[in-house]
Structure 1
Amino acid sequence: MKRLSEKEEALMHIIWRLKKAFAKEVREELPPPKPHINTVATTMKRLADKGYLKIEDFGSTYRYVPAISKRAYTNKFLRPLLASFFGSSIKNAVSFFAEEEEISLEELKEIVDIIEKKKRG
C-alpha cells in the first residue's frame, strides 16, 4: 500500500471523519476553491481502486466507506518517518518540535495528561 498524495489524504481525512460519504458530501467539506464534483468522484474511485475505500452501490450513485482506519494508515506511514528522522524515539520527536517552538507548554501538558490517563485506564 502506497502513501497517498496530499489531495487524496485530504479526502480520506474527510471520509474518516464522516465515517461514510457520497462524493457530493466530501466536496462540501473541502475548502474553496472547491474542485468540480467529477474530480472528487474520480479521486474517490481511485482511492477505492487502491484499496483505501469500499464502495456501496446505490444504483446511479456510490457511497464510500473507509477500508483502512485512520490509525492504521497513520501507523503505516508515520512510524517509518519517526524511525528515519528521530531514531524511533517519541522523546526525540517531541524535543525537536519543542526546540523549533512548534509545540507549546500547554500542548505538552495535554500529552502528559493523555499518557497518565492511559496508564490509569
Structure 2
Amino acid sequence: MQKLTNKEEEIMQILWKLEKAFVKDVLAEIKKDKPHYNTLSTIIRNLEEKGYVSYNAYGKTHQYYPIISKEVYKEKYMNTAIENYFNNSYKNVVSFFAKEEKISVDELKEIIAIIEKNN
C-alpha cells in the first residue's frame, strides 16, 4: 500500500464519506483550494493506479468508489507513524499528547477504564 499525498488523502476522505462519486461530486465537496476539474480527475486516476479506488463506467463517465477502507488505511499509517516517530511505543504516543495538552486527565481515565474492561 503506497502512502498518499496530502491532496490524495483529502480526496479519499471525500470518497469514504460519499461512498460512490463522480469527479464533479468530489469537486463539490472540496471547500478551499479547489483544483481544476482535470487536475482532480488526474488525482483520482492516480488513486486508482495505487489501488485505492475503482470505478463503474457509464459511457465515458466514471463513478469512483474506494476499495481500501478508511479503517484499513488508518491502521496501516497509524502503525507506521507509531513505529517511525514513537519507537513503536503507545506509551510514548499518549505521553506526547499529554505533554502537548491534547489529552485531558479525564480522557486518560476513560482510556484506562476501556483497557481494564477489555482485559
3-state SS of the aligned residue for 2:65? strand
Letter in 1 for 2:60: S
**TM-score computed with the length of structure 2 as normaliser:** 0.84
Who is 1:103 aligned against? 103
Trace 1:59-74 onto structure 2 (pairs within 5 A).
Answer: 59-74=59-74
Percent identity between the aligned chains? 46
Moved more, 96-105 or 38-47: 96-105
Separation of aligned partners in 2, 1:25 and 1:111: 38
Letter in 1 for 2:85: F
Please give the per-residue CA displacement for 1:22-81, whole angstroms capped at 9, x wherever unaligned: 111111111223111111111101111111101110112111111111111122222022
Trace 1:10-21 onto structure 2 (pairs within 5 A).
Answer: 10-21=10-21
Letter in 2 for 1:57: A
Separation of aligned partners in 2, 1:16 and 1:25: 13
| Structure 1 unaligned regions, length at least 5 | none
Who is 1:77 aligned against? 77
| Structure 2 unaligned regions, length at least 5 | none
Alignment length (residue pairs): 118
Who is 1:53 aligned against? 53
Letter in 2 for 1:47: L
Query: RMSD value over aligned CA atoms?
Result: 2.2
* Inter-CA distance 111–34: structure 2 relative to 1 (3 Å threshold): farther
Shift of 1:99: 0.5
Moved more, 32-41 or 7-16: 32-41
Separation of aligned partners in 1, 2:94 and 2:70: 21
Shift of 1:107: 4.8
Who is 2:87 aligned against? 87
3-state SS of the aligned residue for 1:64? strand
Who is 1:40 aligned against? 40
